[in-house]
Structure 1
Amino acid sequence: MPPQGGAPWRTTVLGVLHPVGPLPAAVYWRRRLLVLALLLAVLGGGGWLVVAALTGSDGGTATSAAAATTDAADPSDEPPALEQVVPSLASVPTPTPAPGPAAEPEPAPASPTPGGPCGDDAIGLEVRAPGSAPVGGKPTFELVVTNTSSVPCVRVLDAGLQEVLLLDAAGNRVWGSNDCFPETSSDTRTLAPGESVVFPLTWGGLTSEPSCAAERTTPAPGQYVLRGRLDTKTSADTAITLG
């Protein structure tokens, strides 16, 4: 029941605004301010709880969606590119194989002793002939011996050691210079470096066999080769056409 008259009400208000007690007034003011602050904190916390309760579900969904979007957009969460996981082959050092042993050069033919024998490695041998000859004709061939070494050397050039063969395209023997008319001579010469000796030989145009036992005939037209020999030295083949 409200107090009657104005004096008591004013006394109550004055008592609140001007507390009276055995302690100093500042102590009572601090107590009242502390109570007021606690009251405001309680009221503010309650309001926040209400707002959170009303918006909690939507906010959680939005927060999850935002977090998912952030996670998807964050490039740090993406799988690393293949070139970042597997290093480029260009950056991987490739071991250099150890060099193998160098191929040994072929030994050069031993030069003859100056004034000593001319071995097969110290002489060149070839057959010179016209490129073609008529069938049944009598062409002249030349057996050429050359000292290819750098010193003078001695070579036996006996006629019995010289021979020229005619072979057909299949490699069959057609004629030999020593078959029917073998010659003998004693011919030992000292050949200077680069010196050549030429031995001419005329072919009768007929086939032959060793010892001249078979009938001699005219070879058929076609491609043939001539091959020379000086003892154990053999020349390369020289082509000739009979037609």
Structure 2
Amino acid sequence: MLHPVGPLPAAVYWRRRLVLLVVLLALLGGGGWLGWTLWTDGDGSSPGGVTGQASRSTEIPALDRVVPSLASVRTPTPPTSTVAAEASSPATPAGPAPGSPCTDEMIGLAVRAPASAVAGSKPTFELVVTNTSAVPCLRALDKGLQELVLLDGAGTRVWGSNDCFPEASDDTRTLAPGEVVAFPIVWGGLTSEPTCTAARVTPPPGNYVLRGRLDTKVSPDAPFTLG
């Protein structure tokens, strides 16, 4: 093979072999390029290829194209009447705590007296305190805080229980709900004034009213007649 034999010179045979080798190399190179082209077009990497377009058309859409934005979702609005009712309804106030002081609003105060008495007699009246709240509470019931006054028909002060014989005591009590406490007060049948310096006389017969007081709490007027 390396030493051709024939009637022609050896150079002729070498040239023929060289031409044949070039042709083989050209065929191999062209086949390789054609194969590479077909492979790249098949996997869709070639721009503009039919297969590449089909692949892109089957891509999974982005999440924001499938799930709507929360800003576009409308939440239901409660009825206006319900909102207005909730806004206008006041909070329930807390009641007094058990054992707290009895305020004037938590007690009732009244005067018990006979309907009438003879002028110059010594009738007994009562100052009545009632716990009207739903809880026990503390109240000072000292003698110095209690007072009864007698007023005539014109509203003039005729007598006061603390004018001439004031009393003192230390009497703070826990009043149960609905508990009633009565304090008797005897009237001597004579007029008086706060300094107890004016002459004391028997008031004339007529219609009067009795008014009670326990510290800052004042009772309604109770009618009373002297005959």
Cα distance, 1:109–1:176 mapped onto 2, change above 3 Å? farther
Show the counterpart of 2:131.
Answer: 147
How far apart in 2 are the matches of 1:114 and 1:221?
Answer: 47
Greater fraction helix? 1
CA distance in 2, matches of 1:234, 1:132: 22
Q: Which residue among 153, 165, 169 is the counterpart of 1:169?
A: 153
Task: Give, in angstroms, the shift of residue 109 of structure 1.
Answer: 9.7
Determine the C-alpha separation between the residues in 1 that align with 2:94 and 2:214: 20
Q: 2:179 aligns to what?
A: 195
**Aligned equivalent of 1:99:** none
Aligned to 1:159: 143
Q: Out of 219, 224, 231, which is 2:215 matched to?
A: 231
| CA distances 1:29-50 after superposition (whole Å, capped 9, x unpaired) | xxxxxxxxxxxxxxxxxxxxxx
Name the Cα RMSD after superposition. Answer: 1.7
Distance 2:190 2:173 in 1: 32
Query: Which structure has the larger Rg over C-alpha atoms?
Result: 1
- Residue 169 of structure 2 is aligned to residue 185 of structure 1: yes
What is the count of residue pairs matched by the alignment? 137
TM-score with structure 1 length normalisation? Answer: 0.55
Aligned to 1:211, the other structure's residue is in SS state: coil
Percent identity over paired residues: 72
Equivalent AA in structure 1 for residue 110 of structure 2: E
User: Matches of 2:170 and 2:121 in 1, distance apart?
Assistant: 30
How far the C-alpha of 1:211 sits from its partner, in A, is: 1.9
2-side partners of 1:237 and 1:125: how far apart? 11
> C-alpha displacement at 1:149, in angstroms?
0.1
CA separation of 1:192 and 1:216: change in aligned 2, threshold 3 A: same
- Segments of structure 1 that go 5 or more residues without pairing to the other structure are 1-103
Q: CA deviation at 1:110?
A: 7.3
Distance in structure 2 (CA, Å) of the matches to 1:119 and 1:228: 17
Question: Given the superposition, is the C-alpha separation of residues 197 and 212 from structure 1 closer, same or farther in structure 2, using an over 3 Å criterion?
Answer: same
